[in-house]
Structure 1
Amino acid sequence: MQFSFTNEQEDFRGILRRFFSARSPSSEVRKLMETEAGFDRETWKKLNQELGLTAVHIPEAYGGQGFGCVELGIVLEEMGRVLLCAPYFSSVVLAATAILNAGTEEQKRKLLPAIAAGDTTATLAFTEDNGLWDASGVAMTATGTKLNGTKSFVVDGHTADLIVVLARQPGTSGDKGLSLFTVRGDAPGLKRTPLKTMDATRKLARLEFKDVEAELLGEAGQAAAPFAKTMTQAVVCLANEMAGGADHLRETSLEYAQMRMQFGRPIAAFQSMKHKQADMLVDVETAKSAAYYAAAAFDDNAADLTAVASLAKACVAEAYLQTAVHAIQVRGGIGFTWDEDTHLWFKRAKSSEVFLGDANYHRELMMQHWAAA
């Protein structure tokens, strides 16, 4: 496949890179990751007022800019480079996409403009204590519009203004009886508890629902297909975000190796270091190719999109983690200290490896797709 970004897309990337470099240095990341919310609402408003990034892939009819997954992937790749602490993935990639895929025309016009403007933060609650990433793990019940059960590992679930919830009719299993609902973050009967995680730059929460009144999103019992489509796009977006983080680690590791002197010469001059830098370059470029191809496949509505998305997630996750390991080794003893920033990206690489399913899970999905084709 021959793939290249347009001049406009490259200009867009350049603007984003300069903006994020100025607004999200590692000192800001360290400050925000120590807070319970994990982000600053004023900075979040400026992010959307100046660049309108929450509106990128939302259609113009609902207050968005109407771009595709390729442009959204560029945004996420640049965010991944700087570990931007903001509820972007939860609001835009998960919640807004779920509403686009499942909501009625009236619901889209009602819910999406506030997300596109950055006035409403949102998330998608689908994973439960069993840790399964697909619909088979959903045990939360919906009796009419009353929700009962627990959701866990919900990205930004403790701060979201709007929560899209996946639940099922009592007595159903698998893909049957699944419905999506919307719940306000301050709804009576909803208890939200932040979780302690290894990666403090991406906040997770546990949500407990006790007779929580919700509003049906789309058609009752017909959420399986919209949810599956949402997960496919989320996996593609996550792959692009991880590719950005891996590329940052590769670049900073090369800069460090060229600066660090040993025996009167830069350590980059040693043969073993050259091998490591070459390995990182091959891994990262392969990962970026897989992520870019998946985003383009989504915009083209490719028949093998599900397999391509899983391939990208598996490839990029392993490349990101291996690059993080190399990055720490390049820096030697200082590489695993708290004062050195590399551990922040290492923890994001490790958490992203399992988020939305690990490499083995996605290879299995990929093989199932090809077997059924």
Structure 2
Amino acid sequence: MTADSLAERAALGETVRAVLRRHADTDPWPVLCAQVGVAALAVPEAYGGAGAGVPELAVVARELGRELVACPFLGSSVLTTLAILEAGNPTDHSRLLPGLAEGTSTAALAWTSAAGRWCPEEVACAVTASGDRCTVDGSAHYVLDGDTADLLLVFADTGHGLALVEVDPDQRGVRRAGTPAMDQSRSFARVDLTRAAGRRLGSGDARPGLRHVRDLACAVLAAEQAGAAARALEITVAYSLEREQFGRPIGGFQALKHRMADLHVLVETARSAAEAAAEPGPHQSRMAAVAKAWCSRALSEVTAEMIQLHGGIGITWEHPAHRYFKRAHGSAELFGPPHQHLARLGRMAGVGV
């Protein structure tokens, strides 16, 4: 990592944060796409993108996580775009990626079943091929922005591996419905496919690509969690210096200083884990599993303390504490719960878990 790349990432983070401040009361997504190019980051330059990598995606995710911004970045610009890059061929890339890079269209990836394991060995749908045509059947759950996306991609079982299939979301065989979630700043949908006509992207077994996509998505999500944890702690520390008991701010009591120090350690270690997971290298899969497990824990603990230290106002609808708490518990399950990734780490280390 060079000094120039660090400076570029810092500038990207500052730019995203400035946009979010200016558009705190409006939808910042169009501005983020048009002026900052966040939707184009993962797309190669040959297809109208910025040709950036996961570290840059993680920088944006961190800033979006700080403010709990509701936008299609994680589902469309990260998860689905990376899936197209992994499983598609150059023709698919030329056809699908330019619109996603511009932000004029969004995409959703149908993958997991109601169990929500987000495991590359298990998908919710199956595909049947006949010549150049194929049909897809199944019910995918927890599809990020699945009810509003313009483009629908489905990981489906061929009987001999996995295929990534493009499906027209407006056809008769597709039924999409938004599903309520604890975290109201995250949009999920259930997608039911009944003999839906599809078009396969690329060839061969897409399962290895899906494994890689999960690792990269976990790394980006970990950065989002680390950003949310940092902001939750900032809000909590500020409140502890305002709220008084016995004529002095509660933040001045030694017991609370110790608790704040423990939270600071959680936030900083989460940041370090997320940054390590975003860097490419031979150990990225391992680091992604570490980051997903640790950042999930860090955000959950920080937001639980946030609620506790705010007292009664921490559970009111008007205060943001409950939003961070809900994001913590929702994101902990997304792309696989922590215990699932800890089990992966055990298998990597050759330990039965």
d(CA) in 1 for partners of 2:33, 2:263: 34
* CA displacement at 1:370 relative to structure 2: 2.2
What are the within-5 Å matches in structure 2 for residues 37-56 of structure 1?
43-56=28-41
1:4/1:312 CA distance change after superposition, 3 Å: farther
User: Which letter maps to 1:260?
Assistant: R
| TM-score, length of structure 2 as denominator length | 0.94
* CA displacement at 1:96 relative to structure 2: 0.5
**Unpaired segments of 5 or more residues in structure 1?**
29-39
Q: Residue in 2 aligned with 1:269? A: 252
* 2:348 matches 1:369: yes
**Residues matched between the structures, number:** 347
Q: Residue in 2 aligned with 1:252? A: 235
3-state secondary structure, aligned to 1:167: strand
1:4/1:353 CA distance change after superposition, 3 Å: farther
**Offset from partner CA, 1:283-316 (integer Å, 9 cap, x none):** 00000000001101x2xxx222211110010010
Instruction: Provide the alpha-carbon RMSD of the alignment.
Output: 1.8
Q: Residue in 1 aligned with 2:149? A: 160
What are the within-5 Å matches in structure 2 for residues 1-373 of structure 1?
6-24=6-24, 43-144=28-129, 145-169=134-158, 172=159, 176-219=160-203, 221-296=204-279, 298=280, 302-371=281-350
8 Å Cα contact 2:137/2:195 also seen in 1: yes
8 Å Cα contact 1:258/1:266 also seen in 2: yes
User: Which letter maps to 1:239?
Assistant: A
Give the fraction of aligned pairs with identical amino acids, expressed as a percent.
36
d(CA) in 1 for partners of 2:224, 2:157: 31
| TM-score, length of structure 1 as denominator length | 0.89
3-state secondary structure, aligned to 1:206: strand
**Offset from partner CA, 1:198-231 (integer Å, 9 cap, x none):** 1111011111101111110110x51111111111
* CA displacement at 1:93 relative to structure 2: 0.9
User: Which letter maps to 2:119?
Assistant: D
User: Which letter maps to 2:292?
Assistant: K
Decide which moves more: 4-13 or 105-114: 4-13
* CA displacement at 1:7 relative to structure 2: 2.1
d(CA) in 2 for partners of 1:204, 1:104: 28
User: Which letter maps to 1:186?
Assistant: D
**Offset from partner CA, 1:52-78 (integer Å, 9 cap, x none):** 110112111111011111111000000
1:187/1:44 CA distance change after superposition, 3 Å: farther
d(CA) in 2 for partners of 1:270, 1:264: 12
d(CA) in 1 for partners of 2:102, 2:2: 35
8 Å Cα contact 2:176/2:189 also seen in 1: yes
Structure 1: 4+ residue segments shifted above 3 A: 1-5
* CA displacement at 1:367 relative to structure 2: 1.4
Decide which moves more: 146-155 or 127-136: 127-136
d(CA) in 2 for partners of 1:2, 1:46: 29
**Unpaired segments of 5 or more residues in structure 2?**
none
